[in-house]
Amino acid sequence: MGTTFLSGVIEGFYGPPWHRGERRELFAMMSAWGLNTYVYGPKDDLHHRALWREPYPEADLGPLRDLVAECRGHGLEFFYALGPGLDLRYSDPADREALRARLAQLRSLGCRHFCLLFDDIPDRMAPGDRERWGSFASAQCAVTNELFLWMRGQDPGARFLFCPTPYCGRMASRHLGGADYLATVGRELDPEIGVFWTGPEIISREITVAHVEELTGILRRPPVIWDNLQANDYDGHRFFAGPFSGRPPELRSGVGGVLLNPNTEFPLNFVPLRTLALWLANDGAWRPRDAYLQALTEWHPKFDGALQTISLADLTLLMDCYYLPYEEGPEVVQWRQQLGDLLSRPPSAWGQEAAQVGALAARLQEACVRMTELRNRPLFHALSRRLWELREELDLLGRYLRHQADPGLAGTRFQSDFHQPLTYRGGMVASLQRLLRAESDGTFTAESEPACRKGPNP
């Protein structure tokens, strides 16, 4: 697989690909922070996935050539990722030739390194492919090895990365791709080809050394971590501005690299990428919160306001609301717990606590308003929908607290003139979300089903 530890970014999400100016800014940041690898593979580039057999049209070749040159001009390795697995016929010579033609086209633009991605595809094979190879893993390994050796014949320094169909522990435990998929890859995939892995889960809260050691034994090579910790393409209501965490520094010696697949919105990725770089350079105990606060301090100048610039303290509080998939920042967690405790008691027992809760909610609301004044409009546009949704919830909460605390309104039910049924928290998605309740143990129950009725997964 080569000896260089790969560190950097995978543009591998579902959603609008980043534009040239964003990638140029990305390359400059990566170079300054000591990262070394960029993987081009946005799922919504039609020629990356859906139209993989078709060469890029002439009009696209100039921008692609410039992208490769700009990346390499910053001292970074450029990998082009191709995802043919939706409908690849492994035994068809024409399809294998189409793969070679695509890689040859990219090589003519200056690209040397490639990835073949078999993630998020149907778990089935054409009869002819199954008859020839017997398993998904064997078919994918055969095609990848053939392509790798062909490319190495033209460029001995070319590197290949492979994304398996089961690319996390949960998928493997459920035998996606076949019961012996990963073991087959370990035996049959050329040992010089790296294998992507996202950890125990698609979005892994933690990736331990023990987990990676076990996987390395199966794959017969250290994996390259495709890290979805701060990816948000699966949830349009959130983004993740928290630190790189849940990965001990000792992990670095057990993997072939760590590549972050971050938020779809490029302007929101400063803290994720900066803290990844700090983690890679760290030579002591890793303190994610300290890294987060350092990165926020460096990011803060981007939040210059036309009328009033948000303070660093308020920026920290606001980004704590959009921390990581499994947690919020500590100040927000404390406030949320205090709020829950307050609402569990009758208003007569609230005392000064209601004012404290309300004051922080008002502070968050004001921070949301300050964001509308950002001079950096791309940053504001990346934030705006999520922050305005937060502001609406905070506004509703504040109105409810004031209503409940007003002795003159005792015994009356609260209603907001600004949050009407169907126009607020309405729509098909919201109505579907109300049908199934997510339990704390990861199971789901129908809303009509008692929450206490829980059992093991079938």
Examine the residue annotation and report whether 304 is marked as an active-site residue of this protein: no
> Encoding tokens for residue 330?
């500590």
* DSSP-assigned letters across all residues of 48-96: TTTTTTSPPPHHHHHHHHHHHHHHHHTT-EEEEEE--TTT--TT-HHHH
- In which element (H, E) is residue 254 found? none
- Tell me the CB-side half-sphere exposure of residue 236, using CA atoms within 13 A: 6
Q: Residue 435 in 3-state DSSP?
A: coil
347 in Cβ contact with 357 (< 8 Å): no
Alpha carbon of 234 to those of 167, 279, 419: distances in Å?
17, 25, 26
Q: Which of 120, 180, 190, 233 is catalytic?
A: 120
Q: How far apart are CA 274 and CA 239, in angstroms?
A: 16
> Encoding tokens for residue 454?
């829980």
> Would you give the DSSP letter of residue 423?
T
What amino acid is encoded at 421 in this protein?
P
Q: How far apart are CA 67 and CA 55, in angstroms?
A: 17
Q: How far apart are CA 319 and CA 183, in angstroms?
A: 42
* DSSP-assigned letters across all residues of 123-179: S---HHHHHHHSSHHHHHHHHHHHHHHHHHHH-TT--EEEE-SS-SHHHHHTTTT-T
The catalytic residues are: 120
